[in-house]
Amino acid sequence: MTPASNLSPELEAIREKVIAGTRISDEEALLLFEKASLGLTGSLANLVRERKHGDTTYFNRNFHIEPTNVCVFSCNFCSYSRLYAHRDEGWELSLEQMMNIVKSYDGKPVTEVHIVGGVHPKMNLEFFAELLKKIKAHRPGLHIKGFTAVELDYMFRKAKMSIEDGMKYLKEAGLDSLPGGGAEIFDPKIRQQICADKVDAEGWLQIHETAHRLGMHSNATLLYGHIEKYHHRIDHMRRLRELQDSTGGFNTFIPLKFRNKDNDMSNIPEVSVAEDMKMYAISRIYLDNFPHIKAYWPMLGRQNAQLTLSFGVNDIDGTIDDTTKIYSMAGSEEQNPAMSTAQLVTLIKQAKRKPVERGTLYNVIKDYSSVDVNNIETDPALN
């Protein structure tokens, strides 16, 4: 890396720390947010990313099941949920309908199903355990990444089970890992203003800690770009970094950009792309113990997701196949989020990175760096 000139002594000290591989403090992260140029944060994040992964950029082949958008909670940023009283405006999938979605992928080389949705008062622990068992009976090799800590907290409390017993129960039924949703912003005052009634920071962290202790991996998210300040983002990441120091069970950190269409926070303008890149870059620098930083392309748009590959990101999630509505309903450019393997590979190659298909736990499935994209479309084994 070329030496930077004209940096203030504080920024120069941070730059030296990152180059030396030393962890940065909360104060230093705040300085990066407030004072550093995008060029500096980007180049430092890129250094960390390339040390960990070189040019390797992961994607996976997955689909989502959203069992329902009926939800007992009313998060102000949510454009997707409907209260139980208005359930006629939403959807509630039966076990059979969800199994039909799984069966529609028979013979297709997907490796993961991501199950996440609203918190429906009648879809309980037994219902979802039944779903997990049916999926595993039908396709044992499909990795099931399912249920945010918000959904789990509600299911366990309703079933009057401890977190540990509830997690064991779902694990035995077939749950393999947890997605990162529901974290939003941990700070209690901000959380109170954007999602007052769902599980708090301590509850979210306890569920992930329990999953890690039981040998399951999980992801973590942060919802940014609304009413929070930089120090709230840092506080959130500090709590994640501390838990990761103790369990090592997190795979991926996913910053989620607040989108403002049709929700109770629509008066808040969305942040700029420069702000997005800063968020990705600083999370890569700060979360030194997280193996991966993911840009979830349906949320950010594919062009911006491609840009993040120069700002610390080494994973852009998956093919998704138009199976999620959360972000299209919140105003993302992607109304029907789906990318073919050829499109994902092309997007990664255009950024001069090495496309690698992964499983959920980052096992390498295929290195596409020397595969001609024209052959991907026509080779049934690849598509």
Nearer to ligand SF4, 33 or 327 (CB): 327
The answer to whether 79 contacts ligand V47 (rule: CB under 6 A) is yes
The site map against ligand SF4 for 95-134 (x = CB under 6 A) is: -----------------------xx---------------
Among 11, 36, 45, 78, binds ligand SF4 (CB under 6 A): 78
254 binds, among ligand V47, ligand SF4, none (CB under 5 to 8 A by kind): ligand V47
135 near 166, Cβ under 8 Å? no
For 34, list phi and psi in degrees, rounded to 5. -90, -30
366 near 356, Cβ under 8 Å? yes
Q: What does the DSSP 8-state code read for residue 354?
A: E
Binding residues for ligand V47, rule CB under 6 A, total: 22
**Which helix (H) or strand (E) covers residue 251, if one does?**
strand 250-257
Beta bridge partners of 293: 253
From 302, 338, 306, select the one nearest 320 (Cα to Cα): 338
Report the 10 Å Cβ neighbour count for 235: 17
81 binds, among ligand V47, ligand SF4, none (CB under 5 to 8 A by kind): ligand SF4
The minimum distance between CB 73 and ligand SF4, in angstroms, equals: 4
Among 244, 263, 283, 328, binds ligand V47 (CB under 6 A): 263
Distance CA 51, CA 338 (A): 31
Report the 10 Å Cβ neighbour count for 136: 16
Q: What does the DSSP 8-state code read for residue 339?
A: -
Nearer to ligand V47, 28 or 276 (CB): 276
Interaxial angle between packed helices 163-173 and 125-138, expressed in degrees from 0 to 180 and rounded to the nearest 10: 30
Sequence-ordered list of residues with C-beta below 8 angstroms from that of 274, at least 6 positions apart, any chain = 38
Nearer to ligand SF4, 81 or 314 (CB): 81
Distance CA 359, CA 345 (A): 16
Nearer to ligand SF4, 81 or 306 (CB): 81
From 352, 270, 298, select the one nearest 46 (Cα to Cα): 352
Binders of ligand V47 among 283-312, rule CB under 6 A?
Answer: 296
* Piece in contact with ligand SF4 (CB under 6 A), picked from 71-79, 85-93, 293-301, 333-341: 71-79
368 binds, among ligand SF4, ligand V47, none (CB under 5 to 8 A by kind): none
Cα 343 to Cα 60, 338, 340, 369, 374, distances in angstroms: 12, 10, 5, 13, 10
Q: What does the DSSP 8-state code read for residue 70?
A: B
Among 118, 181, 249, 301, binds ligand V47 (CB under 6 A): 181
The minimum distance between CB 72 and ligand SF4, in angstroms, equals: 7
119 binds, among ligand SF4, ligand V47, none (CB under 5 to 8 A by kind): ligand SF4
The answer to whether 198 contacts ligand SF4 (rule: CB under 6 A) is yes
Question: Within the chain, what is the greatest distance between any pair of CA atoms?
Answer: 63
The answer to whether 179 contacts ligand V47 (rule: CB under 6 A) is yes
Binding site for ligand SF4 (CB under 6 A): 71, 73-75, 78, 80-81, 118-119, 150, 195, 198
Binding site for ligand V47 (CB under 6 A): 77-79, 116, 148, 179-182, 184, 219, 221, 223, 254, 256, 258-259, 263, 296, 317, 326, 330
